[in-house]
Amino acid sequence: MTSEHSQPTNKVISQSSVQDTPDGRIPVGKTMPGEQPMLSVQNLKKVYHTDGGDIEAVRNLTFDLPKGQLACLVGPSGSGKTTLLKCISGLMAPTEGEVTLHGEKVTGPPKSMAVVFQEYGRSLFPWLRVAENVELPLKNQGMDKTARREVVAEALEAVGLSHVPKSYPWQLSGGMQQRVAIARAVAYKPEVLLMDEPFAAVDAQTRADLEDLVRGIWKKLGVSVLFVTHDIDESVYLGERVIILSSSPTIIQEDLLVDLPDERDQLETRSSQRFSELRHHVYEQIQLAKKGFRPEDAVANANA
């Protein structure tokens, strides 16, 4: 097993993987030198207590998200991605470990964080119009009316929706609804933007547009983005870094640097040699994860 998977690894720069941890510890993501960690996840663990016994969704996760980075979390379905995101966003308390933002422990949803959910239809207020949806968090913050109007118009402009401020969200297509949710997050001016499989429910063409939109917004605003997805291509195309999760109970399978050029293009980038190498590698890792391979097992084997 180990030899199988180590081959493609040679071709890619991995921040950390099984091979890098000779001490036999669970692999740990590191912050790239010279960058200040913004969001930090330390030894995060989450166990659900249910009738059918406890379910260990996340076993041990540690990684840092530096300021301004766009990182993708990718993992097989059922790998506790949503759980992880809920813990990071402060919606759910971890069983063990902690999440810190600017060195401060996250105990509830932090002010400088915005979340875009997969279920766009359920995360927009159906009784508010598009502009009102974007405006509501600002109103809640006590921003005055003229400033609000300006920010909302800007945000809608940024996502290409300035023509429908008076529509209700449910009158729009799925892709447009997700744009509204993104506009709302953008208007909120967060430092960290969490996105939970935001494009899982939109069609392929809309998806490509939205991916470019996210990259555009990320560059323009300089926010840190943590983008959860189960789509391998999407994770490589979007991210500067891909964190591959194991199957549940989740640990980090591999933390991978994406050395693709900064300017990405749906046609050019996706057909480049490097893209397909990276994609190939991530795909293999996910397949391994699905089969139940875990770095800790490999380590245990090596030690035995």
Strand (E) or helix (H) holding 98 = strand 96-101
* Binding residue (CB under 8 A) for another protein from 23, 108, 222, 263: 108
Nearest-approach distance from CB 118 to another protein, in angstroms: 9
Shortest separation between residue 90's beta carbon and another protein, angstroms:
8
Place of tokens 């291509």: 233
Closest CA to 253 of 279, 283, 224, 227: 283
Is 140 one of the binding residues for another protein (CB under 8 A)? Answer: yes
Q: Is 114 in the site for another protein (CB under 8 A)?
A: yes
Strand partners, 195: 116, 227
Q: How far apart are CA 91 and CA 86, in angstroms?
A: 5
The single residue listed with the structure tokens 């449910």 is 170
Q: Interface with another protein includes 57 (CB under 8 A)? A: yes
Q: In this complex, which beta carbon is closest to another protein, that of residue 33 or of residue 52?
A: 52
Interface residue with another protein among 23, 127, 205, 263 (CB under 8 A) is: 127
Q: Determine which residue in the list 23, 51, 144, 263 makes contact with another protein, applying CB under 8 A.
A: 51
**With binding defined as CB under 8 A, does residue 45 bind another protein?**
yes
Show contacts with another protein in window 275-304 (CB under 8 A). 291-292, 297
Per-residue DSSP letters for 30-95? -PPTT--EEEEEEEEEEEEEETTEEEEEEEEEEEEEETT-EEEEE--TTSSHHHHHHHHTTSS--S
- Over the range 108-128, which residues count as b (16 or more CB within 10 Å of their CB) and which as e? eebeebbbbbbebeebbeeee
Figure out which of the listed residues 72, 131, 176, 188 binds another protein, where binding follows CB under 8 A.
188
The DSSP string of 110-148 is -TTEEEE-S-HHHHS-TTS-HHHHHHHHHHHHT--HHHH
Q: Which stretch binds another protein (CB under 8 A): 36-44, 163-171, 202-210, 235-243?
A: 163-171
Answer yes or no whether residue 144 interacts with another protein by CB under 8 A: no
Q: From the list 249, 257, 260, 280, which residue makes contact with another protein (rule: CB under 8 A)?
A: 249
| Residues at the site binding another protein, with contacts judged by CB under 8 A | 45, 47-57, 77-80, 82-83, 86, 89-91, 95-96, 108-109, 111, 113-115, 117, 119, 121-123, 125-128, 136-137, 139-141, 168, 170-171, 188, 247-249, 291-292, 297
